[in-house]
Amino acid sequence: MKKSFLLLLLSFAPTATLAQPPLTLAAVIEAAQRHSVSAQQATTARETAALSWRRTRADFRPQVSVVGTLPDFSRAITPVVQPDGTTDFRAVRLNNSSLQLAATQNLGFTGGQFTVATGVQRFDDFNGGKRLYNAQPLAVGLTQPLRGFNVLAWARRTEPLRYEEAVRQLPQDRETLAQRATEAFFDVLLQQQQAELAAQNERTATELLWLGREKLALGRLAQADVLLLELNQIRAEQARQQAELATQTATLALHTLAGLPPDGSLPLAVPPPAPAPVVVPAAAVAEARARRPEAFGFRRRLLEADRDVARARFTGGPQATLTANLGYINRAESFTASYISLQNQQRVRLAFAVPLLDWGRQRATVRLAEAARELARRTVAQDSVTLAETVRTLVVQLPTLHTQVRLTARADSLARRRYAITQEVYKVGRLSLTDLGIAQTEKDAARRAYVEALRAAWMAHFRLRALTLFDWVRGEGV
């Protein structure tokens, strides 16, 4: 009983090992979108964009910092100028310590900076036995460019668009990767089909050569025909070897793209015809303009062109910056006393720079920026038109591509049936070898045409998804 059970397990073991299902197109696309290097790059780019957007938002929020020097001790001999003009060298032991807490807020609407701070300084003269405190309980400051380029105001307008563009880029990269995986899948499938046809043709050529030699021995076939059969058998073997080599090369490229193990080569399953949903060109264009990253990229590029013009106008012209500080301050020999009887502290400073002669440099800079802005506007308009025309063209081509799949499938079936009939008729001597060769060529061409039609339809399906970022089968965004 145990022996029979062991034999039963051994009889099933090879079947479980060898019966590996073929790879489907959906499985290859899923592997590429999860494990490929391109998928990891797209994910990293998305994370980088999120961190960049987080940093940009932090620029508009208060920044709190503590700055201090604890301690700053010095023991040295320093020269000291005396009242009579002579220099005396004295040994000193000093320590300067400071601590400040400050909160800074960038003013995006004006381009200035507002600061609130509090701090204290301590001075120690160990040789003289002195200790002094300089306290600043409250200090309020404002730095405001009166005429200048406001970086923060423009960043508030362009950076959200840049972030949204990066957010939409990830699904577009995934759909683009699906296109590449589909193309690589059909490269391998086409070569596998060619290798399979070449193997079948080689077996047929070997069988016909054996039959031809039998007919030659019976005097029913000429020697020249037998030599031609032998030549066909050699050519069929060469074609099989070339097809197998091309299959290995294409398989390696597919495994590299999809992140599959490089060893081993599973057969690919011929996919069914691509889905054929009803797509209205106007709706496809509307989805593309609303969902693709270019929808935000176009607006960002136009804003950046306006920003460059504004920068050119303010960079070389008159500049002025107002700085104002207001607070309380006091000095004393003890820490507590330094916070009593506070004194007012004010400072107002206006710095300006006015170019008097630049030989037309400022005007030329502005005109260059305006010309670049006009070029950006025309380029964005052209890119928008190109995107719309690309989507419309693809949508119009879809019915024809699906019709081609249906027709080539019918042609493939007819060509295979014709070849089988022609082969049987040739064996009984009612057709020439030339007729058999024509039927075989048409059979192989019909099979290749069918796979090529499948490839074109599936590529168009995923390209439409990538162009519109919309799943037209489910009726939802990707």
Asked if 258 and 28 count as a contact pair (C-beta separation under 8 A), the reply is: yes
Average pLDDT of span 443-472 = 89
* Strand, coil or helix: 373: helix
Identify residue 35 by its one-letter amino acid code.
H
Q: What is the 3-state secondary structure (H, E, C) of 415-453?
A: HHHHHHHHHHHHHCCCCCHHHHHHHHHHHHHHHHHHHHH
CA–CA distance, 200 with 416 (Å, rounded to integer):
12
Asked if 178 and 29 count as a contact pair (C-beta separation under 8 A), the reply is: yes
Model confidence pLDDT, tens digit, residues 128-168: 888 899 988 999 999 998 888 888 888 888 888 988 888 88
The answer, yes or no, to whether residue 12 has pLDDT greater than 50, is no
Closest to 449 in 3D by CA, of 410, 392, 477:
410
pLDDT band with cut points at 50, 70 and 90 for residue 17: very low
How far is CA 359 from each of CA 148, 218, 286, 311, 355, rounded to the nearest angstrom? 21, 104, 50, 19, 10
**Burial group, residue 144, by CB count within 10 angstroms (0-12, 13-18, 19+):** middle
Overall residue count recorded for the chain in this entry = 478
CB atoms within 10 A of CB 26: 12
pLDDT band with cut points at 50, 70 and 90 for residue 262: low
pLDDT band with cut points at 50, 70 and 90 for residue 265: low
Asked if 66 and 100 count as a contact pair (C-beta separation under 8 A), the reply is: yes
The answer, yes or no, to whether residue 316 has pLDDT greater than 80, is no
CA–CA distance, 244 with 246 (Å, rounded to integer):
5
Model confidence pLDDT, tens digit, residues 354-410: 888 878 888 898 899 999 999 999 999 999 999 999 999 999 999 999 999 999 999
Model confidence pLDDT, tens digit, residues 48-77: 888 888 888 888 889 999 999 888 888 888
Q: What is the Cα gyration radius of the chain?
A: 40
Q: Which pLDDT score, from 0 to 100, does residue 87 have? A: 86
